[in-house]
Structure 1
Amino acid sequence: MKHFILIIAVILNIQASESKGATPPASLVQTVVAKEGYTNSLQNYVGTLYYDRHSNLASESSGVVSKLYVKEGDKVKKGDVLLKLESSILEAKVSAKKASLNSLISEQTKQKKDLERSKALLERNSISQSSYDTTFYTLEALDSQITSVRAELLSMKLELKKKRIKAPFDAIIVKRGVDVGEWVAVGSSVFTVVDPKSIEARVNIPSKLLYTVSKNQKFQAKIGTENIEVSIKTIVPLADKASRTFPIKLSINSKNKFIEGMRIDVQIPTLKKEKAILVPRDAVIKRFGNFVVFSVVKSKAVMIPVSVLSYTNNEAAIKAQGLQANMKVIVKGNERVFPNMPVIEKAK
């Protein structure tokens, strides 16, 4: 909004200066000559937005829901705890198992000292071999028991970890399937989460256009009142037998606040050719949400709204009233100029 006000203020200042007879400073620009050519005609196709990263979270453990930390619509970070199942009995068992392990470790320490003493006494023939063996095998039994208890404790801790369901990635909660006090079985769906940055579009186009589109190809599209640029992410080579259409997936700028289910209108080239004005891609910029080019007429910049028909690697095929072949269009410095601003053409 501040940027828009600044642009308007600059235009008004230029117009005020011109009305007073003052000449605004000229801007240095580089131009090329627009040319006439042909491009494929555009056809509007309607698609739908969806989240590519969409997860139904299920519980790996059974139990009663004791705490809920989120609700539908909440944004969460990867690793945030979303839900906790009742685990007081299991926590008590873990505490008891830890105590048992500590007791066994203490006994192991004592038994190691006894074995060292028994070994010294045996070397002096102060005790029998059987007495030493008893101490030795008692220590081995303790070692095995400690290994077993540690494994049991690890298993309990893993089970305790499953009592907390965490976010698998940065997400938005779009559905909650349980409430506090409800019993959750293993495999029960508890939350549905989506990654808002993974928004994409799916559009079905006629199978005859299969060989006219390619991965990363860019198109002009519209969602609601916003004009955007999209590109082909994936071409799914599986046509619908009834409609003879196949789906393409389109990447969308994730900074826009779009949601699943919204409609998208995409302009896709057909097999039919039509005349167009060809200019370098850099000549087409956005002003006030619309595509425009700046032409140079009598050393002044003239802003011309245009419709983009298609893009090639370096060129844009456009249509516009007032723009013809052989007219000069600005390709460098156009982001700095405003309507009727004096310009100086830079030599190539």
Structure 2
Amino acid sequence: MKKLHKKKYVIFAVLCVFVFIVAFSVLSGGNTSYDGKSSKAEMGSIQRTLKENGTVFSKRVNTFYSDMSQKVEVLNVSIGDKVKKGDILLTYENNYMLEIERANKQIDAITAMYNESVKGADFKEVSNIKLNISTVENNLVLAKSNFEKIKSLYENNAVSEIEYSEAKNNVEALENQLQEAKNNYDLMTRGVSANVKKQYEAQVEEVVIQIKILEQRMEQSSIKAEFDGVITELNVHQGGMTQTGVPVVEIQDENSLGIYIEVLAEDSMKVSKDMKFIVNTGDEMKELKVNKIYPKAQPSVSDLGVEQRRVRIEADLTEGMNMKIGSELDVVIVLEEKSGVLLVDRDAVYKKAGKEYVTVIEGGNEVEKEVTTGLKDDDYIEITSGLTENEVVLTEY
């Protein structure tokens, strides 16, 4: 009898354990043997992206070269200096001021000789009147051309009568100015030999041309900042000589920045203007827009030494993004995105005989199901058919 009671206890204990296992299996969704190796199909959002390292650059860069070897007489900047538009960065050694001074003395001498010849006529005044005539003539040509355009537009009711009258009056006023200037010129030079007058005028005009050339050369002997910026490259020192073909100084605008990436030529075909260009600044994810895709792929060598063809893609940095020129940042271009779609863990999908499958856990059993997939990212895959929300799939096989 004792043995019989003992058997009953053993059977009862086994039944209790079995009931506990079944109950636990039901409460846990029948997935006790797949803990950590399965996941549910859930609705969510997914993106197809392109990831690259981006580099911050200035959209305004001015690099100055020297077309000959020249000595730097004065250097006013060093690398990192902030400069304003019009600031003189450096000046080459030259003697143009002395040559201009000498040319002006030549004009004074010619003027004195002319005044002596015409006995009283002021040559400087004569020269000024002649210059005024030339200026008015040029202005009159432009005014007449403008009037013809306005007249044509007026006849086609494209401009107002006021604009037409203003253009016409401008021509008439310039014609009167020209006639007055010519009359003054005739009065000033009356009695002067035409040959003498032309001779001295030609001499002065020749010297004036020489002065203009010298002034241009003197202007070119200095390098000026063409916009506010920072000195990012400097390859000379005061008293040193420049080298032909080597950049002398470079300015970049820190307030006009962009960021670029270089992608494989085949990947660039997937990118279009205004796509999301997401930058990881380290503190936040900043969403920009693709604003430029270069039309030509350039040769490049990867870190592994593989020759590639890459295309440059740019986006403008927005106000408040205080980045250093040359900084490198992680960039993601969003090629396509969907929301409210069915997703599974990427590891859940496998291929077999050219088709895609997942293994679904149903009542503790593994059931293989063929699926159709859509977008993929690093973690998830979109399921377009073959699976429903909340189904549990294996993620490790």
* TM more than 0.5: yes
Q: Does 1:171 align with 2:229?
A: yes
Partner deviation per Cα, 1:27-58 (whole Å, 9 max, x = no partner): xxxxxxxxx87553445432222223223212
Go from structure 1 to structure 2 and tell me whether the alpha carbon gap of 1:276 and 1:68 turns closer, same or farther (over 3 Å shift): farther
Partner deviation per Cα, 1:98-137 (whole Å, 9 max, x = no partner): 1111221233333334789xxxxxxxxxxxxxxx999542
Q: Which residue, 105, 113, 127 being the options, matches 1:107?
A: 113
Q: Which residue, 236, 253, 271 being the options, matches 2:318?
A: 253
Partner deviation per Cα, 1:52-104 (whole Å, 9 max, x = no partner): 322321236764222111111011122110001223x3211211111111221
Q: Which amino acid aligns with 1:224?
A: G
Q: Which residue, 79, 82, 86 being the options, matches 1:75?
A: 82
Displacement after TM superposition at 1:243 (Å)? 4.9
Contact 1:57 1:189 in 2 (8 A): yes
Distance 1:276 1:252 in 2: 32
Go from structure 1 to structure 2 and tell me whether the alpha carbon gap of 1:249 and 1:188 turns closer, same or farther (over 3 Å shift): closer
Distance 1:217 1:49 in 2: 18
Go from structure 1 to structure 2 and tell me whether the alpha carbon gap of 1:151 and 1:185 turns closer, same or farther (over 3 Å shift): farther
Displacement after TM superposition at 1:275 (Å)? 4.0
Q: Does 1:217 align with 2:223?
A: no
1:49 corresponds in structure 2 to 56
Q: Which amino acid aligns with 1:94?
A: I
Distance 1:73 1:260 in 2: 12
Distance 2:93 2:324 in 1: 35
Go from structure 1 to structure 2 and tell me whether the alpha carbon gap of 1:83 and 1:134 turns closer, same or farther (over 3 Å shift): same
Go from structure 1 to structure 2 and tell me whether the alpha carbon gap of 1:112 and 1:189 turns closer, same or farther (over 3 Å shift): farther
Contact 1:114 1:135 in 2 (8 A): no
1:229 corresponds in structure 2 to 287
User: Structure 1 or 2: larger strand share?
Assistant: 1
For structure 2, the 5+ residue unaligned runs are: 1-42, 123-189, 300-306, 343-397
Go from structure 1 to structure 2 and tell me whether the alpha carbon gap of 1:103 and 1:239 turns closer, same or farther (over 3 Å shift): closer
Partner deviation per Cα, 1:279-323 (whole Å, 9 max, x = no partner): xxxxxxxxxxxxxxxxxxxxxxxxxxxxxxxxxxxxxxxxxxxxx
RMSD: 3.4
User: Structure 1 or 2: larger helix share?
Assistant: 2
Q: TM-score scaled to structure 2, two decimals?
A: 0.49
Displacement after TM superposition at 1:145 (Å)? 0.6
For structure 1, the 5+ residue unaligned runs are: 1-35, 117-131, 278-348
Q: Percent of aligned positions with the same letter in both sequences?
A: 23
Go from structure 1 to structure 2 and tell me whether the alpha carbon gap of 1:140 and 1:253 turns closer, same or farther (over 3 Å shift): same
Go from structure 1 to structure 2 and tell me whether the alpha carbon gap of 1:218 and 1:270 turns closer, same or farther (over 3 Å shift): closer
Distance 1:172 1:78 in 2: 11
Partner deviation per Cα, 1:212-246 (whole Å, 9 max, x = no partner): 53312333321233432221111224456855754
Go from structure 1 to structure 2 and tell me whether the alpha carbon gap of 1:61 and 1:276 turns closer, same or farther (over 3 Å shift): same
2:187 corresponds in structure 1 to none
1:320 corresponds in structure 2 to none
Contact 1:48 1:263 in 2 (8 A): yes
Contact 2:294 2:312 in 1 (8 A): yes
Distance 2:81 2:266 in 1: 44
Go from structure 1 to structure 2 and tell me whether the alpha carbon gap of 1:82 and 1:60 turns closer, same or farther (over 3 Å shift): farther
Alignment of 1:15-164 (within 5 A): 39-42=46-49, 44-59=51-66, 63-87=70-94, 89-113=95-119, 135-164=193-222
Most deviating of 203-212 and 218-227? 203-212
Distance 1:65 1:43 in 2: 48
Go from structure 1 to structure 2 and tell me whether the alpha carbon gap of 1:111 and 1:226 turns closer, same or farther (over 3 Å shift): farther
Distance 1:146 1:228 in 2: 65
Displacement after TM superposition at 1:273 (Å)? 5.0
Partner deviation per Cα, 1:249-271 (whole Å, 9 max, x = no partner): 12112542212332222233355
Contact 2:276 2:333 in 1 (8 A): no
SS at the partner of 2:255?
Answer: helix
Distance 2:199 2:218 in 1: 28
Distance 1:96 1:82 in 2: 28
Larger Cα Rg: Structure 1 or Structure 2?
2
